[in-house]
Structure 1
Amino acid sequence: MMEPVILIETSNHSRTLTAVVEQDDRVAYFYLFPSELLTTKYSPRPCWLRNLKPAPEKRDTAAMKEGLAPMLEARYCNHPTGKPALEANRLSIVWTPEGDGAAVLYDNEILGVIPGWTLYSDEQNVAYAADCIGAGEDDQLMPLGARGKNAMYQKVDEAIAFQEEWATETSQAWGKLQEEYLKNYESVFGPLRKYYAIDGGQWPPMGLGRFEKDGIVYFLSLGIGIRPMPWIELLYNDRATGFRRMELAWAIKKDDFSETEIMEMAGLISSVADRPWKLITWLGVGHTILSQELPKPFESVIVTKADSQITVPMPELYGDQVNLFWLLPITELERTYAHHLPDAGHLLITKLAENGIHYITTRRAELPFD
């Protein structure tokens, strides 16, 4: 029996997942494999693509017992006598903008799709294949079906358009978006004092603007929201459009901290900017992040939103609103309180507000806890 051959292999931008198409002399499969650092958190995801030999009448348990990729039963595939082997030079991979799902194309037509949301639950290990015409009771391979009948087509079309828009380093999309961000920020915080690139020369382009107004130093990111965050589609379903994009901000009382301390705090935005995609996670109000770059007694930040006294206009990206999340430093005891119950981060934000602590970082004492 022929050993499986890798026809195409490519990683997402954060190198957290690798897409692979493998083929032996019986069957071709599409896989998403997590990186080594994420193998304890996420499992590989398979998607059958086609049988190369006549399909078995019953479930291919013999192959599975030998550790081989199973062929699909005859009644579930549109080619019970088999199809020609896939040719590597006709294959391509397109990743979802979140980077947690992908589709494999053959001559630019969809062959298989592994949606991002299937990554987060072993009970929802669903994949879609163009040559599948039915699903068994225990099988989570689904027919891709025809255009207009399956939302996967639109998802893949959007992913292709997104990929093409940002395909070159000289993409005009960033210049226009950067200008819109800075114009909006300057309308609230005054002229831009300094601009920092925080993308490390990698895609997507991300920047950080420094502004000063009324004794407060403001740092606001731009470009993080180009990518929607992982997990959000599964967590919020139809409401995902209001939660999957973010920018980060920090407001620091200038007289309370040295310039070195201010810049060290601002540097945290750079390290957090890529966090959802490097860890395949998400950020929202109430989440906390440990950091050694904070002045004592702080040792973490909590993600919050500004109060009603400040409204910052944010651009709309790909039909989604962009949330502006503010980072507020907290102490070890405060972080412990934020984790003592599910969703207790919101309780801590409320308790901070009750003590006059909102989104502006000041040199302050630790909250009193009974």
Structure 2
Amino acid sequence: MAIFRSASGEGGTEVVLAAGNPYGSRTLVVERDEDSSVAYLCSPDGTVHGAVWLANHRPAPAVVDLARINAGLPPLMPRPNTLHPEGRRPLGQLSPLWFEEGDGVALYEDDELLAVIPGWADMSRGMPGYARDAVGESPFAWALSEALEGLRPRISNARSYWRWRHSEGSWPSFQQFVMGHLDNVLGPAGRYWDASGERLPTVGITERPPHGERGFTVLSTVGMSCQRMPTVEQWIDKPGAYARIELAVATRDDPKDAALLLVWLAQYPWHSVTWLGHGHTAKWYHEPSTFPLGPQYSGVLMQANPAHMPDMSGFAFGGEIVRWLWLSPVTTQALQAH
């Protein structure tokens, strides 16, 4: 049984808010009819990844109204699970606050926290978002008051992060911070390319020609670590040590070819709402014949601290260490083995 309908605006409902995250990978959609309001966290194709009931606008039923759900209407919260069993007025002015990772969002009503849909919300597993007006746990919402101890730091960090990120000079200062670290560990910079195409996250690629005893060129992203990757906390117990990365690749051939690998993956975690880590692989998105390092390869393996590569440690941002993952080309057989 579907607990929430898809966020399509059909069936007599009205979309009162549709707001995308800064990376273009998730949209918060708030719908209402005369009886209730609900919020959905959707991907660009409309797939609902998380949802939360927000309010009843008429007296609550004693139990779940299955007929209403089967008709594709926003659910009514049963009487035992709402702070306002007689219903409440329509929602006021709504505004979203996206988590730094872009996979979760806090929703405010008239500047007061109304609901949170975290990245781990999953209706298929019976995990809705958190609502201010909810009581206890129900299929439609969990009580926000009971989760604030864990959520409040995330919300505070998100507000601070976006305030900083939108301030004048934030990106140039971060860029110089990373470039200075790379100057220390790799030597002077060569060319620099933009890899973001005016889409967030902003990422560049810096070329570091052979230097000292290093007889090969290193290319590194600059900017991936400026924002935490999505979903890490769903896989790692202590995500702080793995949430911020940069990518690097070594080459003795034309650096422009190797740079295409970084262009390919630099924004991938935020646009695909996933993460990259040690031991992960990625299959080339196009025909193998177009793989930048030769048609015998069809993807890459990512490794932290591989042998015979420069030590990139010593850089941190937002109080969290940044890990460099080195890309190595792999064959189709190697990809299948992973």
Quote the residue 2:319 is aligned against: 319
User: Where does 1:46-61 land on structure 2 (aligned, <5 Å)?
Assistant: 46-61=51-66
Q: Does residue 20 of structure 1 match 2:13?
A: no
The CA RMSD over aligned residues, in Å, is 2.1
Residue in 2 aligned with 1:264? 257
- Report the Cα offset of residue 106 of structure 1: 0.8
**Residue 71 of structure 2: which of 66, 73, 89 is its match?**
66
Q: Is the 8 A contact 1:294 1:300 kept in 2?
A: no
> With structure 1 as the length reference, what TM-score do the two structures score?
0.80
1:157 equivalent to 2:180? Answer no
Letter in 1 for 2:178: Y
Assess if the C-alpha contact under 8 Å between 1:181 and 1:314 holds in 2: no
Q: Percent identity?
A: 27
| Distance of 1:76 and 1:124 partners within structure 2 | 16
Q: What's the CA shift for 1:62?
A: 2.7
Counterpart secondary structure, 2:121: helix
The offset of 1:140, in angstroms, is 5.6
Q: Deviations over 1:6-54 (max 9, x none)?
A: 1110112332221011111111111112222x84xxx442211111111
SS in 2 for 1:282: coil
Match of 1:127 in 2: 129
Q: How far has the Cα of 1:308 moved from its partner?
A: 6.1
Asked if 2 retains the 8 angstrom alpha-carbon contact of 1:144 and 1:150, the reply is no
- 1:207 aligned onto 2:204: yes
* Partners of 1:135 and 1:143 within 8 A in 2: yes
- Name the CA distance, whole Å, in 1 between partners of 2:100 and 2:185: 30
Which amino acid is the alignment partner of residue 50 of structure 1? A
Q: What is the CA-CA distance between 1:290 and the residue it aligns to?
A: 2.5
Shift of 1:165: 1.7
Indicate if the aligned counterparts of 1:219 and 1:266 stay in contact, CA closer than 8 A. Answer: yes
Unaligned runs of 5+ in 2: 1-10, 285-290
CA contact (8 A) 2:51 2:129 kept: yes
Secondary structure, aligned partner of 1:151: helix
Contact 2:23 2:199 in 1 (8 A): no
Secondary structure of 2:320's counterpart equals: coil
| Greater per-residue helix proportion | 1
Q: CA deviation at 1:163?
A: 1.9
Question: CA separation in 1, counterparts of 2:261 and 2:244?
Answer: 19
Q: TM-score under structure 2 normalisation? A: 0.87
Distance 2:62 2:296 in 1: 67
Matched, 1:7 2:16: yes
Q: Partners of 1:296 and 1:52 in 2: how far apart? A: 61
Partner of 1:112: 115
Q: Which residue of 2 aligns with 1:81?
A: 86
Q: Can you list the C-alpha shifts for 1:76-117, whole angstroms capped at 9, x where unaligned?
A: 111111111113xx1101111111111211112110111101
Per the alignment, in what secondary structure is the counterpart of residue 175 of structure 2?
Answer: helix
Matches within 5 A, 1:297-336: 297-307=296-306, 310-336=310-336
Aligned partner of 1:33 in structure 2 is: 42
- Deviation by residue 1:283-315 (Cα, 9 ceiling, x = unmatched): 111222233222243332110123466322443
Shift of 1:160: 1.9
- How far did residue 226 of structure 1 move? 1.6
Structure 1 unaligned residues grouped into runs of 5+: 340-370
- Give secondary structure in 2 for the equivalent of 1:145: helix
* Secondary structure of residue in 1 paired with 2:180: helix
Structure 1 CA distance for aligned equivalents of residues 90 and 268 of structure 2:
40
2:102 & 2:198 partners in 1: Cα distance? 19
> CA contact under 8 A between 1:288 and 1:300: conserved in structure 2?
yes
Task: Return the match for 1:274 from 267, 271, 286.
Answer: 267
CA–CA separation in structure 2 for the residues paired with 1:163 and 1:27: 31
Write the mapping of 1:83-102 to structure 2, written as runs, cut at 5 A: 83-87=88-92, 90-102=93-105
CA contact (8 A) 1:60 1:70 kept: yes
2:288 alignment counterpart? none
Distance 2:199 2:64 in 1: 45
> Hey, what's the Cα distance between the residues in 1 that align with 2:21 and 2:189?
33
- Structure 2 vs 1, CA of residues 177 and 314 (structure 1 numbering), >3 Å: closer, same or farther? farther
- Give the equivalent residue in structure 1 for 2:194: 197
In structure 1, C-alpha distance between the alignment counterparts of 2:127 and 2:157, rounded to whole Å: 22
Tell me how far apart the structure 1 counterparts of residues 192 and 42 of structure 2 sit (CA, whole Å): 37
* Separation (CA, whole Å) in 2 of partners of 1:56 and 1:124: 21
Tell which deviates more after alignment, 11-20 or 321-330: 11-20
Give the counterpart letter for 1:319 in structure 2.
Answer: G
Cα distance in 1 between the residues matched to 2:273 and 2:146: 31
Partner of residue 223, structure 1: 223
